[in-house]
């Protein structure tokens, strides 16, 4: 008893001392960050001249790479080198700070979103005619992650037309206006940009979040929606100039919040579909009065018009929510061609779900091993039935699913776990990478009618081969060597022979205008 009475207070003293010491270390780390980093990245880490610095924003940046950037700076950016200003211990302190989540999740409310809004070139001042001699529907936008630029490529001549700087770390894929003239870009640290492909100029920009997942554009071209990890919101914008329209806090009926897994447009339904990482729901958000579903308003929403007092805004649209409750969360998803069903999967399990959007509930399970990347799935007709093929983020397989009976009827083994899968309605082949494995330099070509690998390519030994995209006609295949000294490798889609290479700085995605605005079955949406 005496020992207990003596040891318990002593333990409290030791624990209290440890907590105080850790708090002191955290304060010292923050002070060091504010002194050397706060001027560009913000004392609140929300970003400024430099990107936001939170663990969520740095998820794809290895700590060793971040350490190298702080020490040596980043080429072609305003990031300086700190190896002569900071000791190795101080550098580790800064790293510890930026890779630690804040005690309170930062928020960006509608007034802050509006304050970030910038009009670079009003649409009314820009001619409705391309300033270049190329088919505007056969352009590619190639994202170069290495130095945060994008290249506009002529899909017929296979030559660059224009290269321009982008915001830090574009994420989630660019989206086009229905006529293909404008492209909307989203950066990892929350900036949404509108770029005029005809005049090669930015139209407008706005910051909608701290860590943004992806964006979607309505089929009528009037609305852009942005999905955020941080804060946990959806933000709706007027597509014309990116004026904020509405902010939706992501919460279920019990008040649980969630990051947004992804949001896509469902053209025949005239609505957006969103899935979440932390709550078991899918939301349908109609964007015009032609929407298929009759929505039910149950979300926590903020109307910019009401909160700002600017009731004179011309655009007074309101976006209600239709909730569909599920048994588990969905990390990504795929639509069947009529957009009546959503096929999704969780990164935590081996089972997919089929959600009927007409009746608003799950109707089937699909046994899929590993971690299927359904957001990169594609469909085509095989033996008089429509099938879905999906790569896998964990397993060395491609799964083939029959749409309608929702069965995996075939699996083929690949060289490694893959991320992207692409084809074209005019091509007999499907291309799938193995970029998440030790065989990252290999890419498979699969025959769409035999469902077998017919060729394995190795464009650059030891270098990551990823993200294939076809041109408008299915004549050429463009592939990325995703390295700083990388390239865009162009193949003949029929003979599978290499045609040419264009040097680029860590090219990632490349997005063909025609294929995207027509929702070509061989590419993701």
Dihedral, 379, 380, 382, 387 alpha carbons, nearest 10: 20
DSSP for 416-475? Answer: S----EE--TT-SEEEEE-TTSTTTT-EEEEETTT-SEEEEE-SSTTS-EEEEEE-TTS-
- Greatest CA separation found in the chain? 90
Higher pLDDT, 297 or 145: 145
Cite the beta strand spans of 131-252 per DSSP E. Answer: 139-144, 149-154, 159-165, 175-176, 182-186, 191-196, 201-207, 211-217, 223-230, 233-238, 244-249
Read off the pLDDT of each residue in 228-241 and give the average, rounded to a whole number. Answer: 96
Phi-psi region for residue 236, left (φ > 0), alpha (ψ -120 to 50) or beta? beta
DSSP state of 370: S
The tokens 């211990």 sit on which residue?
89
Note if the bond before 87 is cis, omega within 30 degrees: no
* Strand arrangement, sheet containing 244-249: 211-217, 223-230, 233-238, 244-249, 300-303
Higher pLDDT, 289 or 236: 236
Read off the pLDDT of each residue in 2-11 and give the average, rounded to a whole number. Answer: 50
DSSP for 161-172? Answer: EEEEE--SSB-S
Structurally, at CATH architecture level, domain 2-98 sits in Orthogonal Bundle (1.10)
Q: Give the range among 283-297, 326-340, 457-471 with minimum mean pLDDT.
A: 283-297
Phi-psi region for residue 163, left (φ > 0), alpha (ψ -120 to 50) or beta? beta
How confident is the model at residue 78, as a pLDDT?
A: 65
How confident is the model at residue 77, as a pLDDT?
A: 62
What is the distance between the alpha carbons of residues 196 and 509, in angstroms, rounded to a whole number? 19
- Where do the structural domains in the chain lie, given as residue ranges? 2-98, 341-413
Tell me the average pLDDT of the chain.
Answer: 87
How confident is the model at residue 274, as a pLDDT?
A: 97
Instruction: Return the number of other C-beta atoms located less than 10 Å from residue 499's C-beta.
Output: 12
Higher pLDDT, 76 or 388: 388
How confident is the model at residue 311, as a pLDDT?
A: 40
How confident is the model at residue 166, as a pLDDT?
A: 96
Length of the chain: 525
Q: What percent of the chain has pLDDT over 70?
A: 84
Q: What pLDDT band is residue 96 in, cutting at 50, 70 and 90?
A: confident
Q: Which among 149, 178, 171, 147 is positioned nearest to 162, based on CA atoms?
A: 149
Read off the pLDDT of each residue in 189-218 and give the average, rounded to a whole number. Answer: 96
Q: What pLDDT band is residue 9 in, cutting at 50, 70 and 90?
A: low
Query: Can you name the residues that pair with 491 across neighbouring β-strands?
Result: 477, 498
How confident is the model at residue 327, as a pLDDT?
A: 87
Q: List the structure tokens of 347.
A: 């990164």
Q: What pLDDT band is residue 102 in, cutting at 50, 70 and 90?
A: confident
How confident is the model at residue 478, as a pLDDT?
A: 98
259 Cβ contact list (under 8 Å, min separation 6)? 213, 228, 229, 230, 232, 250, 276, 277, 278
What is the distance between the alpha carbons of residues 273 and 505, in angstroms, rounded to a whole number? 34
How confident is the model at residue 308, as a pLDDT?
A: 43
Q: What is the pLDDT of residues 353-399, one digit of tens each?
A: 999 999 999 999 998 888 888 889 999 999 999 999 999 999 999 99
How confident is the model at residue 503, as a pLDDT?
A: 97
């Amino acid at each position: 008893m005496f020992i207990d009475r003596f040891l318990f207070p002593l333990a409290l003293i030791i624990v209290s001392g440890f907590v105080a010491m850790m708090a002191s270390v955290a304060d010292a780390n923050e002070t060091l960050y504010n002194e050397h980093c706060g001027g560009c990245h913000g004392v609140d880490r929300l970003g400024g001249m430099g990107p936001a610095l939170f663990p969520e924003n740095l998820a794809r940046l290895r700590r060793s790479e971040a350490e190298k950037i702080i020490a040596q700076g980043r080429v072609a950016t305003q990031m300086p080198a700190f190896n002569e200003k900071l000791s190795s211990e101080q550098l580790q302190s800064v790293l510890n700070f930026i890779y630690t989540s804040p005690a309170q999740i930062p928020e960006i409310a509608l007034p802050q979103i509006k304050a970030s809004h910038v009009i670079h070139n009003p649409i009314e001042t820009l001619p409705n005619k391309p300033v270049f001699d190329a088919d505007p529907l056969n352009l590619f936008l190639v994202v170069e992650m290495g130095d945060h630029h994008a290249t506009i490529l002529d899909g017929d001549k296979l030559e660059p037309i224009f290269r321009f700087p982008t915001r830090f770390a574009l994420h989630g894929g660019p989206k086009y206006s229905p006529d293909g003239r404008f492209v909307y870009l989203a950066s990892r640290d929350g900036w949404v940009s509108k770029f005029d492909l005809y005049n090669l100029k930015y139209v407008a920009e706005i910051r909608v979040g701290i860590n943004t997942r992806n964006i979607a554009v309505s089929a009528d071209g009037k609305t852009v929606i942005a999905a955020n990890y941080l804060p946990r919101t959806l933000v709706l914008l007027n597509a014309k100039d990116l004026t904020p329209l509405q902010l939706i806090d992501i919460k279920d009926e019990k008040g649980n919040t969630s990051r947004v897994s992804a949001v896509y447009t469902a053209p025949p339904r005239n609505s957006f579909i969103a899935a979440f990482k932390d709550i078991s729901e899918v939301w349908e958000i109609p964007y015009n009065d032609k929407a298929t579903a009759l929505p039910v308003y149950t979300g926590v929403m903020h109307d910019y018009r009401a909160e700002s007092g600017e009731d004179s805004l011309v655009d007074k649209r309101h976006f209600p929510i239709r909730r569909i409750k599920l048994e588990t969360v969905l990390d990504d998803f795929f639509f069947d061609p009529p957009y009546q069903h959503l096929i999704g999967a969780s990164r935590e399990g081996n089972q997919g779900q089929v959600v009927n959007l007409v009746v608003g509930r799950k109707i089937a399970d699909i046994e899929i091993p590993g971690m299927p990347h359904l957001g990169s799935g594609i469909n085509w007709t095989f033996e008089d039935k429509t099938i879905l093929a999906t790569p896998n983020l964990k397993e060395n397989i491609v799964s083939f699913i029959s749409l309608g009976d929702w069965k995996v009827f075939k699996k083929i083994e690949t060289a490694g776990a893959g991320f992207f899968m692409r084809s074209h309605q005019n091509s007999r082949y499907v291309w799938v990478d193995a970029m998440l494995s030790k065989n990252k330099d290999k890419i498979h070509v699969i025959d769409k009618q035999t469902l077998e690998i017919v060729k394995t390519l190795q464009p650059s030994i030891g270098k990551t081969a990823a993200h294939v995209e076809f041109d408008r006609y299915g004549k050429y295949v463009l592939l990325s060597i995703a390295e700083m000294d990388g390239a865009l490798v162009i193949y003949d889609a029929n003979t599978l022979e290499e045609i040419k290479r264009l040097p680029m700085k860590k090219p990632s995605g490349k997005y063909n205008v025609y294929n995207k605005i027509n929702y070509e079955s061989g590419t993701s949406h």
